[in-house]
Amino acid sequence: MEAVPRNELALAPLGAGDLIDRALRLYRRHLFVLIRTAAPPVIVIAAGWMLMSISFRKIFITADTSELFWNIFLLATSFGLMTTGYLLILVVMGGATRTLVAHLLRNDPVTARATYTAVKNRFWGLMVASIIILIFISLMLYVVGFFAQIVSIASVFIGMGLAQIAPSWVVAIVLTIVGLCTAALLTWGFFFLVGKIAYVPQVMLVEGKGVFEAVGRSLLLAKGNARRLMAMTLFTTIATGSALVLLIVLLYIIGSVSGYDATNSAEWPAWYTTSYSIIGPLSTILLTPVWMLGLSLLYVDERVRHEGYDIELMAARQLPELPDIDVSSPLGTALYSMDPKELPPPPRSTGRVLDIG
């Protein structure tokens, strides 16, 4: 594969638009490699979605008790598969960041093998970190939903009060403004909090930190990243949704030509239900690499902004690797080595006694 010239990847602080543009350029250049890298965890998610679609539909149409419990078991299994798939996506993101940094540092080729080799060396630690991240994200979603409910209830009472003294169009405008401001504030708050632990897998694979040390390191790095993280997430979500809509429309056309009612899922044959379940994961496979690249670039950008990481990388390109003597230095190793280095053997004793008298 043709490597990206280093001058095309010049390190500099990136804004939200620059971050998306750089991620798309890297995605275009390494399209098939990145799709192969993102495919395994997304395939696990796709298997979960397909199993859920089939089992959930049969729960409401089966009359056999044993078959009902079997489909409930399959439904629970599908949730387990999807959760595992999302955890694996977080794990692979750390490996993708290491591959990107190695590319910036040594102009190493971007390959799926390099990413998964890095993941294999720290797999269980990365799984623990991914579970922590997923639990934290779920908790933040619950908190955001809780505050959204409070605002919704308050908006109902505000609307009822305004309706007594103002025309309906004024009430509609006020409630719309309140809703938009609340949505913007809650969205920003969510990304502000989630962004604090966004770099845990990256820190583990690039800097060689342990799980909890990487959490603390991520908290220190994540300064002012909420807006860029939100922009990257919204862009990826909109792009994935657009691809999903196109694929759904295409499938509806195929179903109509084949004589099936696309609006009645109870009449769908197995192949049509399976195809419908694959659409979401397929669009995710195509767009997940953009998100992975964006988060990797965001991690590098944070270190460039706060630690002069661009200078460290340039020094690492020109100077030989510094020995690991447990001394902190601004010119320390920019990318920690996963290969254990053998210590030199101790000097052998000759059996002689040195006379210093």
User: Are 150 and 158 a contacting pair, CB within 8 Å?
Assistant: no
Domain extents for the chain? 6-311
Angle at alpha carbon of residue 287, lines to 257 and 199, rounded to 5°: 155
Q: Which pLDDT score, from 0 to 100, does residue 142 have?
A: 92
Report the SS3 class of residue 196.
helix
Q: CB 162: neighbour CB atoms within 10 A? A: 16
User: Are 331 and 321 a contacting pair, CB within 8 Å?
Assistant: no
Burial class (CB in 10 A: 0-12, 13-18, 19+), 14: buried
Tens-digit pLDDT string for the chain (357 aa): 344 444 444 556 667 777 788 888 888 888 888 888 888 888 888 788 778 877 877 777 777 778 888 888 888 888 888 888 888 888 888 888 888 878 777 777 888 888 888 888 888 988 998 899 889 999 999 999 899 899 888 888 888 888 888 788 888 888 889 889 998 899 888 988 888 888 888 888 888 888 888 888 888 888 777 888 888 888 888 877 777 778 777 777 777 777 666 666 666 666 666 667 677 777 777 777 887 888 888 888 888 777 777 666 666 666 655 555 554 544 445 677 766 554 444 444 444 443 433
Report CA Rg, the chain.
26
Of 79, 86, 29, nearest to 56 by C-alpha is 79
Q: Which pLDDT score, from 0 to 100, does residue 235 have?
A: 83
- Residues with Cβ within 8 Å of 304's Cβ and at least 6 positions away in sequence, in order, are 11, 12, 13, 310
Largest CA distance in the chain: 107
Helix ranges restricted to H, the chain:
16-29, 31-59, 65-106, 112-121, 123-163, 168-194, 200-207, 211-221, 226-258, 270-307, 309-318
User: Are 239 and 23 a contacting pair, CB within 8 Å?
Assistant: no
Of 298, 246, 255, 281, nearest to 53 by C-alpha is 281
Alpha-carbon distances, residue 264 vs 58, 261, 272 (angstroms): 14, 6, 12
Q: Which pLDDT score, from 0 to 100, does residue 27 have?
A: 82
Q: CA-CA distance, 14 to 305, in Å (whole number)?
A: 9
Q: Which pLDDT score, from 0 to 100, does residue 313 have?
A: 65
Report the SS3 class of residue 203.
helix
User: Are 147 and 185 a contacting pair, CB within 8 Å?
Assistant: no
Cα 138 from chain centre:
14
Q: CA-CA distance, 198 to 182, in Å (whole number)?
A: 24
Q: Which pLDDT score, from 0 to 100, does residue 334 have?
A: 66
Q: Which pLDDT score, from 0 to 100, does residue 139 have?
A: 92
Half-sphere exposure of 41 (CA within 13 A, CB side): 22
